[in-house]
Amino acid sequence: MQPRCRQSVNETVLCSPTNLTLSWRNICYKVKVKKNDSYVTDFFKGRRMKYISILNGVSGVVKSGTLMAILGSRYQLIDLVLGNPFLILLMFFIFSGAGKTSLLATISKRIKKRTTGDILLNGKLFTRELMAKISGFVPQEDLAVKSLTVQEHMEFMAKMKIDRRYRRVARSQKIDVLLLDLGLIELKNSKLSTLSNGEWKRVSLAVELLTEPKILFCDEPTTGLDSYSATVVIDALKKIAVKGKIVICSLHQPASGLLDHFHKIYLLAAGNLAFQGSLSEATAFFSSLGYNCPSIYSHAEFFVSLLSIIRGNEDECFKKISIICEEFKKSAYGKKMTISIEESYAGTSVDIDDGDSKDIPHPIFAANYLPLNDFKKIPSFQQLRWLIWRNYIDYKRNSSSIFLKFLIYIIGGLILATPYIHVTRNIDQRSIQNVQGLMYYIVTETIFTFHYAVFYTFPKEMPLLLRDMANGLYYPLPYYVSKVAVMIPGSIIQPFIYSALIYCITGLRGGLISFLYFVLPVVLGAISAGALGCLMSALFNSFETASLLSVSLDFLTLIFSGVYLNLGNLPARISWLKYISQFYYSTEAVSVTQWREYNYINCSTNIDTPCIATGEQVMENFGFAPDNYYIDLMGLLAIFTFSHFAGFMAIFYRSFNEPVY
């Protein structure tokens, strides 16, 4: 029995996995860049922006069972950037191709930028959600947690991508079959960080094949590979295509003879369509225009060279490209493509819809004919569990660097404690400054250590998060909570050991209960500092930018630690600032726990010297309140809660608004 797909209200037709047609028409894509104005004009008038077209109304069509390559010329924006150093750099780092990745991301509905035009599946418009369900996208970058093994990475991705009703045994069998088919079975216990480029490309391909996608998009799968590895990857893609899938690849400088493996090629020039068809048709088309491929050239080199923009000869190159594009539209090959697209628009193909139909097969359950909209994603708490598992594995595999940071923290504590050995023995008026200085340094060392330790967390993982979010693997909340959940144990254990070490070496007063009261604000100071660090890390793309704001904020709040200002005599206009200072809350809390142990302090023999006779008077002298201990703990918890909430909101906003490609 064949699964049925709804074509209209009163009509149904048989739908086969080998019966898909993906078409696109008049796709335009623009990016915003700075105008070529002088720096003086820019300073006085502000930034002046303009839009540059990357894709100019391109169209195309591809059917099931086809492996298609997208090639393009380089430096197509050279005429727009000459004389502007900023745009020249932008060209080399962003616009180095002809829009291949932009087209791939657009027709796969994974782009979030300014695009126009129609994208149809079997002649009908469809949603981003449907495309995500029936397609896979193999990115150019190697984005993954590299400390995981191939097997662990595949298990994590399978759990996130495959319907939750899939049994664990069936999921494991699927992973083993994919690894075997792609020649990765012997590498299943190897870390991702040890793989070659070719092996990593095949792992990325195996991940996308977990859901048996009907359409597979590959962004430059051969880049960085030698000719043999590139051929292995393309042969694997061809085997997938001949099983009835659509496979579309963008290629950058493909090896000689690699185009022979593709059924169709799609040539872009200066953001315009120059040709679509088979390799033999492309050769015949360009020969008819008088462009014959020299014997010393591969076809790929010839096409890219022919459609490239040469600096110093831009006008002639653009004129040549314009003629080629117009001739293609008039040629039999262009008319053939146009007819296929028009047939698609006319609805002659089968409609696969993600509406209310209950008869639409989901890709990973095609054999059982379960509907697309019947897909069961794992719930958030299971996403959290697996994300914590992945983070734990990553932390465990990087334990040497974590231990080194902890060792530096402890050594810093030993160095800090050395001048204060037996600081509380025979305490007098001169010792008050020593004890309070020790309280201050315990707090500041801890806060600075844990605040700056997490700055690399989100800038480093943001590309991975954006890609996984675009593929619908997990939600932002489980991701953020998983990062926090793995950080917190270290933020508790390390300050506890650090505080215990200093407590014993310096001989601070009090028994076990007093020590626990002492260590609690130090631990809360560490986790609140880590929370503020996560906020800074979530807000900015780089460590340098986050540090620029964070250092200024730290020095502002550090003033209110009670050492540099008497907190009891602050003007009303700035006294409120102490309530946003972790240094204030932590220093006051640890000071309270220590000074309440002193009922009498020896006075100086000099009768003209003021005498602070009790620990309570010491606290009043620094502007601390003896009854504020629990208020200080609540303040630290408030900073922890607010920082993590704001950090999550920043991650949430960026995950839905920043472009993936």
Give the integer Cα–Cα distance in Å for 439 and 433. 10
**444 Cβ partners below 8 Å, 6+ apart?**
558, 561, 583
Of the chain, the end-to-end C-alpha distance in Å amounts to 40
**Which pLDDT value is given to residue 434?**
82
pLDDT digits (tens, 9 = 90+) for 366-410: 333 334 556 677 888 999 999 999 999 998 898 888 889 899 999
Is the distance from CB of 279 to CB of 265 less than 8 angstroms?
yes
Name residue 119's beta-bridge partners.
24
Q: Which residues are CB-contacts of 429 (< 8 A; sequence separation ≥ 6)?
A: 601, 602, 603, 604, 609, 611, 612
Question: Is 559 in contact with 516 (CB distance < 8 Å)?
Answer: no
pLDDT at 374: 60
Q: Which helix (H) or strand (E) holds 491?
A: helix 476-506
Torsion angle in degrees (nearest 10) through CA of 552, 553, 555, 561 = 180
8 Å CB contact between 183 and 196: no
CA pair distance 548, 444, nearest whole angstrom: 19
Q: Looking at residue 492, what is its pLDDT? A: 94
Q: Which residues pair with 25 in a beta bridge?
A: 118
DSSP state of 559: G
d(CA 29, CA 57): 8
User: For the chain, which ranges sit under pLDDT 50?
Assistant: 1-17, 37-45, 76-96, 348-371
- pTM for this model (two decimals): 0.79
Q: What is the pLDDT of residues 612-657, one digit of tens each?
A: 767 777 787 777 888 889 999 999 999 999 999 999 999 999 887 7
Residue-level pLDDT at 91: 37
Q: What pLDDT, on a 0 to 100 scale, did the predictor assign at position 39? A: 41
**CA dist., res. 425 & res. 619, Å (int):** 19
- CA–CA separation, 550 vs 531, rounded Å? 12
Residues 6 or more apart from 489 whose CB is under 8 A from it?
Answer: none
Three-state SS at 429: helix
CA atoms of 578 and 559, how far apart (whole Å) = 9
Which structure tokens are listed for 534? Answer: 């996560």
With a CB cutoff of 8 Å and minimum separation 6, the contacts of 441 are: 416
Q: From its phi and psi, is residue 67 left (phi > 0), alpha (psi between -120 and 50) or beta? A: beta
Query: How high is the pLDDT of residue 371?
Result: 46
